[in-house]
């Protein structure tokens, strides 16, 4: 554990309403961003931690309404830090405006690093990520941030994204889980930045802790972490078994597998499901259980071209659409 320096946040004066923010524990307030959607559920949850000296975890999209609401909520207090779990565009972009308005220090995950793939001609961008994110302090696993009398400790939890962090608030045995573990839905794992192998290891990591409650980036809190983690591992293993079964039955492509195992699921969610299947296949290939004819090549360039202009909501289309080349790849169960 390595403590990092304190910042001298300015005292904030704002006139806007504080109605959007609710106190959810003695040390925690929650503000819902106005960006509901299929990936964001009711919107991004930003958390204000501390009293007097405060930090905001996941400031959310660069939406003036949300930024104003956050500033109003911490009016008269000292915003020391803006902390970021990961660089998806529904989590980090408002950090800059809050820093500009208050002098707070931005601390959190590393900036997004585009995957450098020679097969598609160099570095390519995943449009789901916020490229404006510029932390003053990049936190590593175990780093501690002091906010007045309380402190938050960063926990490296790669999987949903390569740079994902959770933040632990020991005083309340609470963990701010970002998009790593949520109560309302399973986490989207979108390769190549997302990795199912890393994700499952990061879930196992949480099983070794004794957190009492999780505050996720979307939706309601997880009040029984051990049960939810067990269910989550079970769900992923069941998905994996279903994929292996489909490969044994003769399916060869992601599209065929999705059509079978997500039959009955809203078709609008099938692109996200295809990403999940791809993530599982990558994990199964790494474990020697599945072969892939040829190479799985992620067409990162497609993500770059589809990069949205609006910052206020995550672009679910670009996040969730697997590349044509990944869809064309042919997979089979390795025998013996």
Residue 4 or 155 having the CB closest to Zn ion: 155
Q: Token digits for 114?
A: 């585009």
Beta carbons of 27 and 49 less than 8 angstroms apart = yes
- Please state, in angstroms and rounded to a whole number, the distance separating the CA atoms of residues 111 and 87: 7
What minimum distance in Å lies between the beta carbon of 179 and Zn ion? 4
Which residue, judged by CB position, is nearest to Zn ion in the bound state? 88
Q: Which is nearer to Zn ion, 31 or 72 (CB)?
A: 31
| Closest CB to Zn ion among residues 88, 280 | 88
In angstroms, what is the minimal distance from the CB of 91 to Zn ion? 6
Q: How far is the CB of 157 from Zn ion (least distance, A)?
A: 12
Residue with smaller CB distance to Zn ion, 53 or 315: 315
Nearest to Zn ion of 179, 283 (CB atom) = 179
Structure tokens at 56: 């905001």
Distances (CA, A) of 172 to 55, 150, 227, 303: 15, 10, 19, 40
**CB-based contacts of 287, cutoff 8 Å, min separation 6:** 197
Which C-beta is closer to Zn ion: that of 88 or that of 205? Answer: 88
Q: What is the DSSP letter of 170?
A: G
- How far apart are alpha carbons 78 and 55 in whole angstroms? 9
Least distance in angstroms from the C-beta of 161 to Zn ion: 6
Chain residues binding Zn ion by CB under 5 A are 88, 179
Closer of 102 and 163 to Zn ion (Cβ): 163
CB of 124 to Zn ion, least distance (A): 19
Q: Which is nearer to Zn ion, 88 or 300 (CB)?
A: 88
Q: Which residue has the tokens 């408002």?
A: 94
Cα dist. 24→31, 146, 167, 182 in Å?
Answer: 10, 21, 17, 17
CB of 192 to Zn ion, least distance (A): 15
Q: How far is the CB of 21 from Zn ion (least distance, A)?
A: 22
Cα–Cα distances in Å, from 195 out to 45, 192, 269?
Answer: 24, 7, 19
Minimum distance from residue 86 beta carbon to Zn ion (Å): 6
């Amino acid at each position: 554990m390595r403590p990092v320096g304190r910042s001298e946040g300015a005292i904030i004066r704002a006139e806007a309403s504080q109605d959007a923010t609710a106190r959810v524990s003695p040390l925690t307030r929650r503000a819902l961003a106005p960006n509901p959607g299929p990936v964001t559920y009711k919107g991004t949850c930003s958390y204000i931690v501390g009293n007097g000296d405060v930090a905001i975890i996941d400031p959310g999209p660069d939406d003036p309404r949300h930024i104003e609401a956050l500033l109003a909520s911490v009016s008269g207090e000292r915003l020391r830090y803006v902390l970021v779990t990961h660089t998806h565009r529904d989590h980090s972009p408002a950090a800059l405006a809050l820093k500009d308005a208050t002098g707070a220090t931005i601390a959190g995950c590393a900036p997004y690093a585009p995957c450098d793939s020679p097969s598609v001609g160099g570095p390519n961008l995943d449009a789901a990520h916020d490229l404006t994110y510029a932390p003053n302090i990049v936190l590593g696993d175990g780093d501690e941030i002091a906010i007045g009398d309380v402190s938050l400790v960063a926990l490296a939890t790669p999987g949903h994204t390569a740079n994902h962090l959770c933040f632990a608030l020991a005083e309340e045995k609470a963990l701010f889980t970002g998009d790593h573990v949520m109560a309302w839905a399973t986490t989207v794992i979108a390769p190549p930045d997302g990795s199912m192998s890393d994700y499952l290891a990061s879930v196992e990591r949480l099983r070794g802790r004794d957190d009492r409650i999780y505050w996720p980036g979307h939706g309601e809190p997880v009040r029984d972490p051990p049960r939810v983690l067990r269910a989550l591992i079970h769900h992923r293993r069941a998905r994996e078994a279903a994929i292996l079964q489909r490969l044994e039955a003769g399916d060869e492509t992601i599209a065929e597998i999705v059509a079978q195992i997500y039959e009955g699921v809203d078709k609008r969610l099938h692109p996200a499901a295809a990403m999940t299947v791809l993530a599982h296949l990558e994990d199964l290939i790494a474990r020697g259980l599945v072969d892939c004819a040829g190479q799985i090549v992620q067409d990162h360039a497609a993500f770059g071209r589809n990069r949205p202009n609006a910052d206020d909501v995550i672009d679910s289309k670009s996040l969730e659409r697997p590349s044509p080349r990944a869809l064309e790849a042919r997979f089979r169960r390795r025998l013996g």
